[in-house]
Structure 1
Amino acid sequence: MPRPNSIIPRLALAIGTSLALLIQLSAHAALTISSTRVIQPSDRQSTSIVVANPSQRPYAAQAWINTEADDNTTAVPLIASPALFRIDPAGEQTVQLNRLPNNLPQDRESVFYFNLQEIPQADDKPTNTLTIALRTRIKVFYRPTQLKGRPQDHLQDLAWSVQTLEGKPHLVVDNPSPYYFTFNQLTLRSAKGSEKIDGRKMAIPMGRQTYPLKTSTVQDGLKVDFTTINDYGGLTPELSRPVERP
């Protein structure tokens, strides 16, 4: 005869398995955005984003703009309109990003984020589906009109080095240009091998960005291979640049 204390875990497992079979978890975004990034020139009153609903159910959506730190209390120079809307199946909604008075730097880009929060509509039919309302974020680059040329023309100006910070090796990039750079691929290479680096942190304009390394690299002949994402969401040609070391 099974012991009472052995029945409880098996019963809990059976209940959990049954619930898992009954509940279908939907964790993919239903709404799509027309671009992966937005460039907002400082002399343009507004830019637009098209939100589409390719699904077979209606959705409400909330749109807003905030900071890179996902801070909704800091004032931002753009406002999304409409901020709340409904999209029917196969429908679209144009969202305007309207410029507000601001005192942002005019010698470099500033970055903000457009947020789109899905709000699924209630279904009259009973269902065992658990739907997760997802939020999508894309970068919005506020670009002063006095900045001339293309951002990718400044990629050769990035200065790379390996430095020890707080006792650990880091790849360091100094960006003298007025543009942000988002890395799609970032690899440190040496005669002994290579290390792919998490390059989600952007190279900031007229500033420094650091990337922790898994291994210590003190040998000569270091170089970094990288591609970046351009204004249209495409990739720039791969570049290979020398890396200085202490």
Structure 2
Amino acid sequence: MSVMSAPYASKGSVSLGISTRLVFHSDEKRVSFPALNDTDKPLLFHGQVLTRDKLRFSPNFIVTPEVVHLQPGERKLAQVVQLNSQLPEDRESLFYLRGHFIPAAAESENGAGIGLSTSYVLTMKMFYRPAKLKDDYDAIDDVTHELDFKLNEKTLKVINKSAYFLTLNSLRSEKAEIPVPNEVSMIDPFGHVEIPLADPDIRSITWTLLNDGGFATKPLTQDL
């Protein structure tokens, strides 16, 4: 059995959610998301919420129903349900929603042995957003300006002054695009990251973020 892992899958496969991220508003207690089987075989879907390190199941959430039967081409809703609210109230918390799409029945070849089947494992970010924070769809768009940039020799320090996880979508100087390593593209609430610069002789930074829908925000520019 082979396993495919990705944030989402294209047509002819499976998909989880409608974006690359899921926002869980604390006052909702539960949030729905779609699971789609766009293959030609029946699948079983099982969802889990993992801690930030992806090594443990979160004690804060469960996914229900425990198992969802998906016929070829079928799309059904599952839910993330909050079990307890013992999470920070002054900033977002990060989790991961993982979906397992498993063949409903293993096929055999010529009646002998188990044939090759494919399971899909899809993972997406899930942000827990406390009620004290703005829960509008454009919340991230409205805090794009709360990034601050400082030159530090051959690195660019990116400071997040907001209570949200902010993910860089694009970054450029007045000269050229600045590559952002994947491991530092998301900045914790009230945290910072450092990005190496091939050319530290720059005067301004223009950036966009990914909003709740997974789309780019409007570009902003800061002089250094």
Determine which of 69, 74, 90 is the counterpart of 2:73. 90
TM-score (norm 1): 0.74
Q: For residue 144 of structure 2, what is the aligned residue in structure 1?
A: 155
1:223-238 aligned at under 5 Å gives the runs: 223-238=204-219
2:163 is the counterpart of 1:178: yes
SS at match of 1:102: coil
Structure 2 runs not aligned, ≥5 long:
none
State how many pairs are aligned.
209
Shift of 1:118: 2.0
Shift of 1:27: 5.2
- Separation of aligned partners in 1, 2:69 and 2:100: 12
Q: Which moved more, 1:202-211 or 1:234-243?
A: 234-243
TM-score (norm 2): 0.81
- Separation of aligned partners in 2, 1:225 and 1:44: 35
Query: CA RMSD of the aligned region, Å?
Result: 2.6
1:29-68 aligned at under 5 Å gives the runs: 29=9, 30-36=13-19, 37-68=21-52
Native 8 Å contact 1:65 1:112 kept in 2: yes
Structure 1 runs not aligned, ≥5 long:
1-24
Q: For residue 83 of structure 2, what is the aligned residue in structure 1?
A: 100
For residue 143 of structure 1, what is the amino acid of its counterpart? R
User: Highest relative contact order (Cα 8 Å, sep 6+), 1 or 2?
Assistant: 2
Native 8 Å contact 2:141 2:218 kept in 1: no
Shift of 1:225: 2.4
The sequence identity of aligned pairs, in percent, is 25
Native 8 Å contact 1:26 1:130 kept in 2: no
2:220 is the counterpart of 1:239: yes
Shift of 1:58: 0.8
SS at match of 2:141: helix
